[in-house]
Chains A and B, each alone.
Chain A
Amino acid sequence: MEFQFQFDWQAAINAIPYLLKGVPYTLLISFGGLAIGFVLGIIFGLLSINKKWFLRWPATAYIEIFRGTPILVQVLFIFYGLPDLVGGPIDPLTAGIAAIALNSGAYISEVVRGGVQSIDKGQTEAGLSLGLSRSQTFWSVVWPQAFRRMIPPLGNQAIVSIKDTSLFSVIGVGELVRQGQVYIANTFTAFEVYFVVAIMYLAITLSLSLVLRLIERRGLASV
Chain B
Amino acid sequence: MTQIVQMQGMNKYFGTLHVLKEIDLTVEAGEVVVVIGASGSGKSTLIRCVNGLEEFESGKLVVDGNELAPKSGNPKALAEIRKEVGMVFQQFNLFPHLTVKKNIMLAPRKVKDAPETIANATAERLLNRVGIGSQADKFPSQLSGGQQQRVAIARALAMEPRLMLFDEPTSALDPEMIGEVLDVMRELAKEGMTMMVVTHEMGFAREVADRVIYIHEGQIVEEGKPADVFDNPQNERTQAFLSRVLAH
Q: How far is the CA of A144 from the CA of B87 in the complex (A)?
A: 22
- Contact partner, B51, options A129, A132, A140, A145, Cβ 8 Å: A129
* A223 x B97 contact (CB < 8 A): yes
Interface residues of A in 33-54 (CB under 8 A from B): none
A125-168 interface (Cβ within 8 A of B) = 125-133, 136, 140-141, 144-145, 148
Complex interface: stretch among B30-38, B103-111, B124-132: B103-111
Decide yes or no whether B155 CB sits under 8 A from chain A: yes
Chain A residues whose C-beta falls within 8 Å of the C-beta of B141 in the assembled complex: 223
Contact among B82, B91, B95 with A131 in the assembled complex (CB-CB below 8 Å): B82
B95 touches A129 (CB 8 A): no
Q: Is the CB of A123 within 8 A of B95?
A: yes
Q: Is the CB of A129 within 8 A of B97?
A: no
What sequence of 0s and 1s flags, for each residue 74-94 of chain B, a beta carbon within 8 Å of any chain A beta carbon?
Answer: 000001001101110101011
Compute how far the CA of A103 lies from the CA of B139 in the bound complex, rounded to whole angstroms. 38
Is A187 on the interface with B (CB-CB < 8 A)?
A: no
Known contacts A140-B106, A141-B95, A223-B97; is A130 also within 8 Å of B82 by CB? Answer: yes
Task: Tell me the A86-132 residues at the B interface (CB within 8 Å).
Answer: 120, 122-123, 125-132
Interface size on A, residues (CB 8 A): 20
For B132-159 the 0/1 string (1 means CB < 8 A from A) is 0000000101000000000010011001
Contacts of A223 in B (CB 8 A): 96-97, 139, 141
* Residue from A120, A132, A136, A148 whose CB has the most chain B CB atoms within 10 Å: A132
A129 to B163, CA, bound (A): 12
A219 and chain B: residue at smallest CB distance: B97
In the complex, A223→B96 CA distance in Å? 6
Which residues from B are CB-within-8-Å of A122? 89, 91, 93
Q: Does A186 contact B (CB under 8 A)?
A: no
Given the complex of chains A and B, what is the CA–CA distance between A132 and B93 in angstroms? 15
Tier of interface size on chain B: 20 to 34
Contact partner, A130, options B96, B139, B155, Cβ 8 Å: B155
Say yes or no: B97 contacts A130, CB within 8 Å.
Answer: no
A144:B82 contact, CB within 8 angstroms: no
Given the known inter-chain contacts A125-B53, A136-B110, please indicate yes or no for A131 contacting B89, CB distance below 8 A. Answer: no
A222 interface residue, CB < 8 Å from B?
Answer: yes
Would you call A140 and B110 a contact (CB within 8 A)? yes
A131 near B111 (CB under 8 angstroms)? yes
Per-residue 0/1 for A15-29: is the Cβ within 8 Å of any B Cβ (1 yes, 0 no)? 000000000000000
Centre residue among B86, B96, B111 by max chain A CB count within 10 A: B96
Q: Which residues of chain B come closer than 8 Å to A126, judged between CB atoms?
A: 87, 89, 93-95, 152
Question: Which single residue of chain B is at the shortest CB-CB distance from A147?
Answer: B97
Q: How far is the CA of A112 from the CA of B95 in the complex (A)?
A: 19
Least Cβ–Cβ distance between B138 and chain A, in angstroms: 11
Give Cα A120 to B96, complex, Å: 11
Tell me, rounded to whole Å, the shortest Cβ–Cβ distance linking A90 to chain B.
42
Task: Say whether, besides A132-B111, A140-B106, A223-B139, A148 and B97 are in contact (CB < 8 Å).
Answer: yes
Pick from A120, A129, A141, A148: contact of B85, CB below 8 A.
Answer: A129
Query: Given the known A-B contacts A131-B159, A133-B79, A223-B139, are A125 and B111 also in contact in the complex, defined by CB atoms under 8 Å?
Result: no
Partner among A129, A131, A144 whose Cβ is within 8 Å of the Cβ of B79:
A131
Is B79's CB under 8 angstroms from A145's CB?
no
Chain B residues, CB < 8 A from A131: 79, 82-83, 107, 111, 159
Q: Do the beta carbons of A125 and B97 come within 8 Å of each other? A: no
A144-B97, A222-B139, A223-B139 given; A129·B106 CB < 8 A: no
| Apart from A126-B87, A141-B106, 12 more pairs, CB < 8 Å | A125-B93, A126-B89, A126-B93, A126-B95, A126-B152, A129-B86, A130-B155, A131-B83, A131-B159, A136-B110, A223-B96, A223-B141
A-B contacts, 5 listed (Cβ < 8 Å): A123-B93, A126-B89, A130-B82, A130-B155, A131-B159
The list of the 7 closest CB pairs from A to B, nearest first, reads A126-B93, A130-B107, A131-B83, A129-B87, A122-B93, A131-B111, A131-B82
